[in-house]
Structure 1
Amino acid sequence: MATTPTPQAPASRLKGSRGLWHSRGRTGSLLACILLLLLNCIFTPNFLRFQTLGINLQQMSSTTIVAIGMTLVIATGGIDLSVGSVMAIAGVLAPLLFLHIANPVLGLALALFLPLLAGAACGLFNGWLVARIQLQPIIATLILFTAGRGIAQVLTNGAGQPFTNAGFSWLGKGSLLGLPVQAYLMALLLVVFSLFMRGTRFGRSIQAIGGNAEAARLAGVPVARTRIAVYVITGVLAALGGLIVVSLNSNSDPSTVGLNVELNAIAAVAIGGTSLLGGEARVFGTFLGALITQLIYTFLVGNNVPQATALVVNALIILVAVYLQIRPQS
């Protein structure tokens, strides 16, 4: 008796093809990093100075921290366009809280903690819209993308707020062994979330939802709660990124803090090899993507190429990265 071919066979071949492709992609990211390092060493003035290393780490740390959260969201098959606005909200809350509390120790503690709580609340709102109201993630997060920066501007009447508290400034300007504090924080989060995604049931559930949400639900994964939790984590990481930027600049400007960070974070995820279709999370690959972007920017700007041109080059790299992800499936 003839049997009907099962649909799993072509799917498994496609999965194997994608696995091989992404394995090559990881190798390509590493080779790209090595090539860019060599180009910078040869052509970029002062690139080999230890101080230059610190500057590059400062410039990429906050974006990488935000991109870690973006990696988790994209792994579920979603997207978060609101991270830059969440950074702006957290950034303006810190000086507002500190300046309106008489006790400086309590003020500093609240200036560090409550913005993170606000980021969690923003993530909860996004997750509720996606998981419970079932809005498309790009639409759900577009709401806070638009309203969030407006909220930040209303809180400050659109004006920047100088914030030079020594304890708070240490987050952005402090150093250990000559390297910026936020670089150590970035490294810690990279290790934690890499292990988290590989070694915990929750991490595997995130990727299962992105692969096939209905199959994950039938397997007992709490899909809605997991999605909400992922957006909450992303909101907290975005708020942390906002605190770092404000600390580094000693100023909280609601119109500039976090501006275009969502695009840089998505670029880091795409260049790092995480599929924008969901189902996988390559946290270390996201770091490589952020590093590649930073090295390109350093090379172009260090060799007197206009910053606008550097942005165009980054856009082309994103286009190539997305094309290479989609191509094996055609």
Structure 2
Amino acid sequence: MNTGATLKKESISKFKNFYAEYTYLFSFIVLIIIATMVNNKFLTYSNLSTLMLQASIKGIIALGMTLIIISGQIDLSVGSTCALVAGLGVVVLNNTQNAFVMLLFCMVFGTLLGLVNGLLVTKGKIAAFIVTLATMSAYRSIIVQLGQGGPFNVSYELVDKFRMIAAGGILGIPNLALIFIVITAVIAFMMSNTKFGRYVYAVGSNENAAKLTGINVDQIKILCFSVTGFLTGISAFLLSSRLTSITAPNAGASFELDAIAAVAIGGTAMNGGRGKVVGTFLGAIMLQMIEGILIAAKIPPFLTGLVKGIIIILAVLFQSRKEK
């Protein structure tokens, strides 16, 4: 009798631990059920393909945000970084007539902007919230000034070919979705199987303890911001391809909120030290599903930001309850 009761308690405990570890999977399943109830065409290939396409660009940025949040930091500048890189990337494309050169520019320039954030946080000893709040404003101001408030348009002769990078696909799977999946796999492998990944978790869990074990904490933080800048550069390139016109004041607007929301929904602890890249991947998709559900339910679109804010708060509250 005692043995049976003990086994039952152990089973319940294991389920609770599994649920706490993989809450995002249960949330994903629940959202699929709700989305199917609201929209009977939700599970069609066409709809799922569109869902992945819409989630990909912001999802790639969210992957970088995952590294930053796991390391105990935050980056509010990713939206403005995306706009600045995308706008200047279009200028590079128009002048070189070469999309590959533009991609290299976007990756390098995005990395440099992320590096600036990392250096200001580590060497300047300024809180990441303050640094990235400042660079968010600065990067946006620069691109608006350079564009004089107007759009950066891909030249007419390049539009159709360049658009196909984002609009095309392989075997019916959108290029954007494939790129998102590949980058997720690379980042997940890096975080699970490399020294860098282990160090990121260690820094986010206990920075002082990480220092005592010989980890170069500043270097890890700088790398996290730089990788995020790199991924934001890729997203900027893909955003330019999808839109073929970058409006400086609006491009990338609220991307930072969406990235943080995807990370939170994906189960990453907002105070650092714990999280899964796969969770963020599903979080980005879930965020897009929520927007689709709101549209299908005829909820006013200007309430989307309210819903995202509530989601972030609920995710953080849930995380804090799990840690008690």
- Shift in Å at residue 196 of structure 1? 0.8
Which residue of the partner structure matches residue 46 of structure 1? 41
C-alpha contact 2:163 2:244 (8 A) present in aligned 1: yes
The answer to whether structure 1 residue 299 and structure 2 residue 290 are counterparts is: no
TM-aligned CA distance change 1:20 to 1:232, over 3 Å: farther
* Residue aligned with 2:294, SS: helix
C-alpha contact (below 8 Å) 2:90/2:240 kept by paired residues: no
1:277 deviates by: 0.8
Q: Give the counterpart letter for 1:266 in structure 2.
A: I
In structure 2, how many angstroms separate the alpha carbons of the residues matched to 1:187 and 1:286? Answer: 12
Asked whether the 8 Å contact 2:65–2:260 carries over to 1, the reply is yes
For 1:250 and 1:154, locate their aligned partners in 2 and report how far apart those are by CA, in whole Å.
20
Q: Which residue identity is paired with 1:243? A: F
- 1:286 and 2:296 equivalent? no
Quote the Cα distance in structure 1 between the aligned partners of 2:77 and 2:141.
12
CA contact 1:274–1:285 (8 Å) conserved in 2: yes
For 2:322 and 2:164, locate their aligned partners in 1 and report how far apart those are by CA, in whole Å.
46
* 1:70 correspondence with 2:61: no
Once the two structures are superposed, the pairs formed by residues 10-49 of structure 1 within 5 Å of their partners are 23-49=18-44
SS of the aligned residue for 2:183 comes to helix
Q: Which residue of 1 aligns with 2:264?
A: 270
Give the structure 2 partner of residue 175 of structure 1.
169
Q: Could you say which residue in structure 2 is the equivalent of 1:217?
A: 211
Is 1:93–2:88 an aligned residue pair? yes
**What CA distance in whole angstroms lies between the structure 1 residues aligned with 2:180 and 2:151?**
26
Does 1:314 pair with 2:308? yes
CA distance in 2: counterparts of 1:249 and 1:192, whole angstroms: 26
Q: In structure 2, do the counterparts of structure 1 residues 74 and 247 end up closer, same or farther at CA, with 3 Å as the change threshold?
A: same
Amino acid aligned to 2:95: H
Tell me, yes or no, if structure 1 residue 243 matches structure 2 residue 234: no
- What is the aligned counterpart of 1:198 among 184, 192, 201? 192
- Offset from partner CA, 1:56-92 (integer Å, 9 cap, x none): 1111101110010000001111000110011001110
Answer whether contact 1:71 1:274 (CA < 8 A) is retained: yes
Change (3 A) 1:22 1:278: farther
Q: Classify 1:220/1:317 alpha carbon distance in 2 versus 1 (closer, same or farther; 3 Å).
A: same
Unmatched 5+ residue regions in structure 2? 1-13
User: Quick one: structure 1 residues 308 and 89, their matched pair in 2 at CA, closer, same or farther if it must change by over 3 Å?
Assistant: same
1:23 is displaced (CA, Å) by: 4.0
1:228 is displaced (CA, Å) by 0.7
TM-superposed deviation, 1:21: 7.2
Q: 1:141 aligns with which of 121, 132, 135?
A: 132
Taking the aligned partners of 1:203 and 1:20, their CA distance within structure 2 comes to 27
Task: Please give the per-residue CA displacement for 1:222-251, whole angstroms capped at 9, x wherever unaligned.
Answer: 111111111100001112112212211121
Find the residue that maps to 1:165 and give its secondary structure: helix
| Counterpart AA for 2:75 | D
C-alpha displacement of 1:162 = 2.4
- After TM superposition, the score normalised by the length of structure 2 is 0.90
CA RMSD of aligned residues (A): 1.8
Q: Deviations over 1:82-131 (max 9, x none)?
A: 10011001110122112223xx3xx3222111121110110110000111
Q: Look up the match of 2:141.
A: 150
Instruction: Give the SS at the match of 1:48.
Output: coil
What does residue 230 of structure 1 align with?
Answer: 224
User: 1:160: which partner in 2?
Assistant: 151
- When normalised by structure 1's length, the TM-score is 0.88
Counterpart CA distance in 1 for 2:105 and 2:144 is 18
